[in-house]
Amino acid sequence: MDTIDRFTGRPWDALALFSGGLDSILAVKLLQEQGLRVLGLHYVSPFFGKPQLVDFWLREYGIEAALVDVRRPYLDMLRAPEHGYGKHLNPCVDCKILMLRHARELLPRLGAKFLVSGEVLGQRPMSQRGDTLNLIRKDAGVSELLLRPLSAQKFPKTPMEASGLVDRARLPGFWGRGRREQLDLAARFGITDIPTPAGGCRLAEAEPAARYLPILTHLADPRTGDFRITELARQYWAGPYWLSIGRNEAANQALEAACGPDDLRFRLRDFTGPLALGRHYAPKIARPGASPQAWPRAVVEDAAAFAASYSPKARAEAEAGRSVAVLVLSGGGSDTVEVTPARSTPQPSQDNRPLPGSVEVTPARSTPLGWTEPKTAAVNAWKRREEPDAGSSHCQPRPNRA
C-alpha cells in the first residue's frame, strides 16, 4: 500500500499531511500558488484512509499524494495514547504527533525542506486549540519545520517564511469554527467539488468505537484484520469469547476470507443462513478456564445455538420441534452440532470431549453465556476507569507529570 518510493528522486519543496478534506486541499493549493512543489502524504490506518481517491485528487485538484501505511505503529499507539482519547476512542493528539514524526523522517528521503498541515486555529474545541497545536508541534519535533498555512497569520513567523521560501503575506489567518472563509478560498481556486467536513476517522464515531473496544481490551496483540471483521458482520461477545455473524451472503464470503487457521466457523448444514466466525486469539489477560485460544465444548455449543437462531428456516424447524445441524469447522477439521433453534436455551452440554463429535443443544438469541453486542456506553465507562483524571477531555493534552 505504501507508495513513497514512486515519488523519490523528484524535487519537492514540502510534504503535506493530506487527508483529502477541504482544509488539507487548501493548505496545499496556497503553497502551489506560490510556485512551491508540494507532495501530499495520505496516511492509511485501520480506521481512516481513502487510497482509492489518489487519482481523483490529482485529476480534480492537481495534487499528487503518496500513500503512507502506518497501520502497525498506529495500533501500537492506540492501545495507550500518551495524551488520551477524544469523545470516543479517537486519540487525536497522539495521531497527529505520530503522522508528523513520520513525515519529518521522510523529509531527507524526498528532498523536501518543510512540512505542511491544514489545521485551523480554534476550529475544533480541544484538538485545535492554540496550546494543543503547540504541544503537537513540540512533541513531534517539528517546531522549526511545520507550517500551518490556513492560520499562518495567527502563529509566529516560521523559518520558511522568515527565509522568504514562503511569502507569509499571501497566507491567510483563518480562525474559529466557521467555514465561510474556506469556502470563499475554494471558490477562488475553482474548487467546486467540496469534500464533506467530517474527518472520516471511525474511532471518532460512537458505534464503530463500541465495536473496537472489546478488541483493545481483550486481545494482547490486535491486528488490522481484527478491526476489519467488525465492519463485516454483527459483533457479539461472551466474556473473552468473540463471535461474528454475517448479515448477508456478501458478508458471509468476507468472513470466510477473514478466517484464520485456528478460528472456528459455524454454518448450518442443511439450510441457508449466516456464517459465524469464532475468533481465536492470544488474550491480554489469561483467565483460568476461559481461554479464547481454545474454546471449551460448552462454549462451542452455545455459540452454535446462538448463530443458528439467525436463520429463519432453522427457527421454523425449531417451531416444528425438529433439530438442525450446525457444522463447526476449524483448519482441516470439522464437527457437526445438532441444535433445535429457539429463543431461549437450557444450560449447554457439560460434555467436554474435544471436537469432532455430535451433540444436541437448543440454540437461541438468549443463551446461558449471554452473547451481547458492544454498547456505546461501555466506551465512556472504560475511559473513566483507564483515565480517571482525563474526564471528557476530547483529546485535551494531559497535564505534564514531571
- Could you tell me which of 124, 171, 132, 131 has the C-alpha nearest to residue 150? 171
Give the pLDDT of residue 392: 44
Residues 6+ positions from 96 with CB-CB distance below 8 Å: 17, 117, 127, 136, 140
- H or E stretch including 294? none
Distance CA 166, CA 255 (A): 51
Give residue 101's pLDDT. 99
Q: Are 276 and 266 in contact (CB under 8 A)?
A: yes
Residue 242: strand pairing partners: 237, 279
Give the up-direction half-sphere exposure of residue 325: CA atoms within 13 A in the CB hemisphere: 9
Q: Are 120 and 151 in contact (CB under 8 A)?
A: yes
Asked if residue 209 lies in contact with residue 379, where contact means CB atoms within 8 angstroms, the answer is: yes
The DSSP line for 309-371 is TT-HHHHHHHHTT--EEEEEEETTEEEEEEE---SB--PPP---PPSS-EEEE---SB-TT--
Query: pLDDT truncated to tens, each residue of the chain (402 aa)?
Result: 799 999 999 999 999 999 999 999 999 999 999 999 999 999 999 999 999 999 999 999 999 999 999 999 999 999 999 999 999 999 999 999 999 999 999 999 999 999 999 999 987 766 788 889 999 999 999 999 999 999 999 999 999 999 999 999 999 999 988 889 999 999 999 999 888 765 589 999 999 999 999 999 999 999 999 999 999 999 999 999 999 999 999 999 999 999 999 999 999 988 889 999 999 999 998 877 777 888 998 899 999 989 999 999 888 887 887 888 899 998 755 666 666 564 454 444 444 444 443 445 555 677 889 999 999 999 999 998 886 654 444 455 444 433
**What is the predicted pLDDT for the residue at 368?**
87
According to the model, what pLDDT value does residue 195 have? 86
Q: Phi/psi of residue 35, each to 5°?
A: 85, 10
DSSP per residue, 107-160: HHHHT--EEE----BTSSTTTTSHHHHHHHHHHTT-TTTEE-GGGGGGSPPPHH
**Is 3.40.50.11540 the CATH number for 4-202?**
no
Check: CB of residue 150 under 8 Å from CB of residue 178.
no
* The pLDDT of residue 395: 58
CB contact at 8 A, 26 and 182: yes
CA distances (Å), origin 274, targets 10, 130, 192, 310, 341: 51, 50, 44, 7, 14
DSSP string, 170-184: GS---BSS--HHHHH
- Strand 241-246 and strand 276-279: pairing? antiparallel
Inter-residue contact 22 to 197 (CB < 8 Å):
yes
Question: Which helix or strand (DSSP H or E) is residue 233 part of?
Answer: strand 233-238
Q: Which helix (H) or strand (E) holds 237?
A: strand 233-238
The single-letter code of the amino acid at 297 is R
Length of the chain: 402
Q: Which residues of 154-183 are buried (b: 16+ CB within 10 A; e: fewer)?
A: bbeebebbeeebbebeebbebbeeebebbe
**pLDDT (0 to 100) of residue 81:** 96
**Which H or E run includes 382?**
helix 377-386
